[in-house]
Homo-oligomer: A and B are copies of this chain.
Amino acid sequence: MGIGTVGSGVFSVLQRNQSEIVRRAGRGIEIAMVADLDTARAQAAVGPAVQVVSDARAVIANSDIDIVIELIGGYGIAKQLVLEAIEAGKHVVTANKALLAVHGSEIFAAASRKGVMVGFEAAVAGGIPIIKSLREGLSANRIQWIAGIINGTTNFILSEMRDKGLDFDVVLKQAQALGYAEADPTFDIEGVDAAHKAALMSAMAFGVPVQFDKAYVEGIAQLGAQDIKYAEQLGYRIKLLGITKKTDKGIELRVHPTLVPNKRLIANVEGAMNAVMVHGDAVGTTLYYGKGAGSEPTASAVIADLIDIARLHNADPAQRVPHLAFQPDAMSNMPVLSMGEVVTSYYLRLKVADEAGVLANVTSILAKAGISIDAVLQREADEVGGEGATQTDLIILTHDCVEAKMNEALGQMQVLKTVLATIVRIRKEELA
């Protein structure tokens, strides 16, 4: 259902690698029918031998079909069709992270009731088998945290900004021209797409429901080239990370620009590539890297799900891996923490008057809030006004503190007369 970029990739990889797939799976996988509103485009993609229809319900009604692949996207008709396919006893494979992040609980519950599988490897980090690694490969572990570059558009933009010292707006236009960013890039640059994926990984890591609505989401549109430069001078790179952590108090679930030490592998993931770090209590830190989008990388994940389902479609449900890694009756109700409760460290940039006592004022506010300082950098004063008055960039790296404390301290610093502009605050993760 839906044969655009990814659907065409699924079709052509299945054709090209059919004999290899049969050698692995012990059986073939055949595209029996394609539904797309644009039947002409669809027929061109699959050739004359495959039946193309405009009505997706013809696929669902076709009793020869075992598995329905949903590649329409979005929460609208896709949700309805997926639920109808499940109701008709079909297994479903989808790349639709938005749908699952918002309606996952309902869809997985329906699938469990009907005894069918919903495969969604393609929904997170494209071709990287991160869902299989989380659900199966690391199943011995208590997962402690996940941090990932899970949106290629924003990583491309951040890589270019750093590489060429360009501003966000300029690079966004380039990315759109190159096809790395959509005409309406909101979901990507505002962090929504990354939050969809982070919410799915959080559920699989910790055995909680998919809670996209509780995620803290901050994008990269406000990020300045100078902060990328200062971060670099301090030994860090800025990446848009999807982060989820388990703490004693609850679960952190957040997407925001993040300083990462430049010696970490993930700090060196460039361009549109994706990478996910997973830290488990037994295995320690692991990392998974590859293409997070595109026709064939996404098709690779869709077809891996098809092969898994082909193997297990008539198995006892107990022989299948639970959709969200944990048995549906063993989910935890551990709360997702508000951003004020999150503990992390910070990069702060204050534009301050270049006069005595400024650093003392700022640091005493942090000290009173119990926030300790890791590093301070003061950078070349720019002349402003005619009276020889100057201003300076003051960059502070802090140690870990609760975000509510930091918000309070920021409020106090912001009203200092010597602080001349809105303070820039970027979170920092050591990811050790």
Contact = CB atoms under 8 A, between A and B. Distances in A.
Interface stretch (A42-50, A105-113, A278-286): A278-286
B127 A286 contact: yes
Contacts of A24: 139, 207, 322, 325-327, 330
Interface string A64-96: 000000000000000000000000000000000
Interface in A287-319: 287-291, 296-297, 299-304, 306-308, 311-312, 315-316, 318-319
Given A265-B265, A286-B288, A322-B24, A300 B138 contact: yes
B283 A139 contact: no
A332 B297 CA distance: 26
B311 A319 contact: yes
A137 interface: yes
Question: What band does the interface of chain A fall in when counting residues whose beta carbon is under 8 Å from B?
Answer: 35 or more
Interface string A10-36: 000110110011111110000000000
A310 B282 CA distance: 20
A321 interface: yes
A116 to B, nearest CB: 16
Nearest to A326: B23
A186 interface: no
A133 B136 contact: no
A265 B268 CA distance: 7
Interface in A112-156: 121, 127-129, 132-133, 136-142
A2 interface: no
Contacts of A365: none
Contacts of A300: 138, 140-141, 280, 282-283
Interface of A: 9, 13-14, 16-17, 20-26, 121, 127-129, 132-133, 136-142, 207, 263, 265, 268-269, 280-291, 296-297, 299-304, 306-308, 311-312, 315-316, 318-322, 325-327, 330
28 contacts: A20-B207, A21-B139, A23-B330, A24-B322, A26-B322, A127-B283, A128-B286, A129-B132, A133-B137, A138-B304, A139-B303, A139-B304, A140-B300, A140-B301, A140-B304, A140-B306, A140-B307, A265-B265, A265-B269, A282-B296, A282-B299, A282-B303, A284-B291, A286-B289, A286-B291, A287-B287, A288-B288, A311-B320
